[in-house]
Amino acid sequence: MRRCANFCGITVLTLASLVPVFRAAGHGSVISPESRVHRVFASNPETPSFQLAADAIETDGTHSYYTWMELSRNIPSAVTSGLPAGFDYSTWVPNGTLASGGRVDPQSSVYPRTYAGLDQVSADWPTSPAQAGETLPVDFYATTPHDPSVWDVWMTTADWTPDQPLNWQQMEFLGRPDVTLTGDHYYFDVEIPSNRSGHHVLWIAWQRDDPVGEVFFSASDIMIAPAADLRAGDYNSDGRVDAADYTVWRDNLGAAAGSLPNDVDGGEIGPAQYTRWKSKFGAKTAAASAVPEPAIASTMVVVAGLLIQMWRTRPGQDGRAI
């Protein structure tokens, strides 16, 4: 029994020592707003739940996504240059490879495990919600926390669309946030620029302050609701200010405050909301189809004038015109 116990003990210890190896090599990624690499992992690499994940696994293999926390490179020059905010990673992470951290060559002797499938150009990447002009909390799950380290954040520019590759010319550096470590999670806030709306990508670099300059990359797709001033006049919330919004205004003329969506003027629905609609006519807050011809808009202006006159001269409680 003693011999068996010793043997069994050795066996258990050996197996136990092997199990954490897979995890100890890991370091982390953003889980909120969820990064592409974590989404592919969470979809189940064996039976992925969405097509882009399946295509990524077909390109890179399942192992890359079981090791979702290892999307990193060693860039010592980031450290030797003094860890400048907004360090230029483009030499190591060229245009079109930002989501993969430049790890696209399966023949590489340094980074043979690739993440090229994350660079697929598509509007179908799942997104997390965000609001323009407001703070977005970020949660980076670190399977192995590292300090000292710094965090830098970029976002696609206002003119970028998801049918374009991620590229440095269309990335805006948003700054280096203050980060709090709680357990295995790093938390920080990102201010979403007020001129963003629709599908965008948040790109984050977690740079270690160590001799090898290990840095972890994360790309998160977000769907940004436009800021209130951009939505003004869009009374049916379809992403553009057009004739349909005039109809909504007309149907709510005289209604109580708060009854008209995206009303930034307040008060009883009347001339103020019409003036706002007129001043914003033709504006778009998201990708949308063409707006009505100017001639149609002119006709609506005439009709609106008559409606407003009728609204102003409606009888009050004493029978006199208001």
**Around Cβ 314, how many Cβ atoms within 10 Å?**
9
The pLDDT-based confidence of 13 (bands split at 50, 70, 90) is very low
* pLDDT at residue 300, as a whole number: 59
87-141: pLDDT as tens digits: 999 999 999 999 999 999 999 999 999 999 999 999 999 999 999 999 999 999 9
Mean pLDDT of 257-276: 82
**Around Cβ 75, how many Cβ atoms within 10 Å?**
22
* pLDDT at residue 144, as a whole number: 87
18 vs 171, which has greater pLDDT? 171
* pLDDT at residue 74, as a whole number: 98
**Is the pLDDT reported for residue 213 higher than 50?**
yes
Cβ density class 214-241: b for 16+ within 10 Å, e for less: bbbbbbbbbebbbbeebbbbbbbeebbb
**Is the pLDDT reported for residue 22 higher than 70?**
no
**Is the pLDDT reported for residue 227 higher than 80?**
yes
228 vs 142, which has greater pLDDT? 142
Residue with tokens 């790309």: 219
State the pTM of this model: 0.71
Decide the pairing of beta strands 198-208 and 149-156. antiparallel
Q: List domains and CATH numbers for the chain.
A: 22-225 (2.70.50.50), 228-312 (no CATH)
Contact 219, 167 (CB under 8 A): no
Residue 113 phi, psi dihedral angles, 5° rounding: -85, 120
Q: CB-based contacts of 198: which residues, under 8 Å, 6+ apart?
A: 161, 223, 224, 286, 287
**Facing residues of 216 across strands?**
72, 206
Residue 20 has, within 13 A of its CA and on its CB side, a CA count of: 7
* pLDDT at residue 260, as a whole number: 83
* pLDDT at residue 52, as a whole number: 98
**Around Cβ 300, how many Cβ atoms within 10 Å?**
22
**Is the pLDDT reported for residue 244 higher than 80?**
yes
Average pLDDT, the chain: 85
Contact 281, 233 (CB under 8 A): yes
The pLDDT-based confidence of 190 (bands split at 50, 70, 90) is very high
The pLDDT-based confidence of 298 (bands split at 50, 70, 90) is low
* pLDDT at residue 20, as a whole number: 34
**Is the pLDDT reported for residue 31 higher than 50?**
yes
Helix orientation angle between 294-312 and 271-280, rounded to the nearest 10 degrees: 170
* Cα–Cα distance for residue pair 50/39, rounded to 1 Å: 10
